[in-house]
Amino acid sequence: MTTVTLIRGDGVGPELAAAAVTVIEAAAVDITWEEAVAGQEALEKEGTPLPPRVLDSIRKNRVALKGPITTPIGSGFRSVNVALRRELNLYANLRPARSMAGIKTPFKEIDLVVVRENTEDLYAGIEHRVGPDAAESIKIITRQASEKIVRFAFDYARKHNRSKVTAVHKANILKLSDGLFLEVARQVAGDYPEIEFEDRIVDNMSMQLVQKPQNYDVLVMPNLYGDILSDICAGLVGGLGVAPGANIGEELALFEPVHGSAPKYAGKNRVNPTAMILSAALMLDHLGEGEAASRVRKATEAVIREGKRVTYDLGGTAGTAEMAAAIADHLKQL
């Protein structure tokens, strides 16, 4: 039996977490959930959105599944998501984007994986005011973190029979910071001669993704570019509601959908659970339950393809719980 830390999150997070638990139980995977409260509820009760016991639980269990947590804009506490990644050294953010039949989008046959460095760049949060009318943010790029993330991307490509890795940067302008990232990427690529390597400037990469995304496979990049381009990739396949995510370190891993907490929909049983369920499938892969993960994906894709018991954004009238139940039903048939 495997114990997994379950963080239900804010807004629609608890409904999505319940949907994922329903599906995993239908997949007959032997998991025990250890619940930990983070986000707004923890802030109100304990004065911090990320109590130490949450980190302790993840360190003990080594794996966590998390619903979305609200991040205030412009003021208030810093992102719990960023803090979790930094405190637990979850240096690799994995964001697959794959087309599914039944989802309306002008793009077909998309199968991309964004590998985003998770711990530094502008997201290190080193910033300060310069008088009343200016502010500075410091961009940190290190050789060590760059090598770890690029090697992660190539190892992922090798393990999953991917043929190409593309490093994304802005080294034409940021010659020292992004220049270092590109230098390291080129060096690491030499250790993987069977995998094609190329690099793209980030603005050109953005255009390439909406013109000919089928030309790309695994994309690796620093933190900020990864945040932006992974959302573009999600848009190609139907939006954030179907985009899973994983944050992986050397010893710990946390799995979560990449969309927000949508507080206006909280408790209304309306939000698409696909991203949360597919994030749980990534977790099953990580736990060595590859067969169960494959069944979860097939059942999810079958429900979306049929288009009957799906949420409003997919053209249906089902609620969050009803769509999860439909996926669970398909799992039992499989």
Residue positions annotated with a catalytic role: 123, 170, 203, 227
DSSP string, 262-303: -GGGTTSS-S--HHHHHHHHHHHHHTT-HHHHHHHHHHHHHH
CA distance 317 to 216: 35
Q: How far separated are the first and last CA of the chain, in Å rounded?
A: 22
Report how far residue 152's alpha carbon sits from residue 150's, in angstroms, rounded to the nearest whole number. 5
What does each C-alpha distance from 108 to 29, 111, 237, 277 come to in angstroms? Answer: 32, 9, 8, 22
Instruction: Quickly list DSSP for 81-130.
Output: HHHHHHHTT--EEEEEEE--TT---S--S-EEEEEEE-SSBGGG--EEE-
What is the chain's alpha carbon radius of gyration, rounded to the nearest angstrom? Answer: 20
Would the CA dihedral through 135, 120, 222, 254 be positive or negative? negative
Is there a contact between 201 and 225 (Cβ–Cβ < 8 Å)? no
Pairing of strands 246-248, 92-98: antiparallel
Structural element, H or E, at residue 166: strand 164-169
Separation of CA 199 from chain center: 22
**Residue 257: partners with Cβ closer than 8 Å, 6 or more residues away:** 16, 67, 68, 240, 243, 244, 245, 275, 276, 278, 279
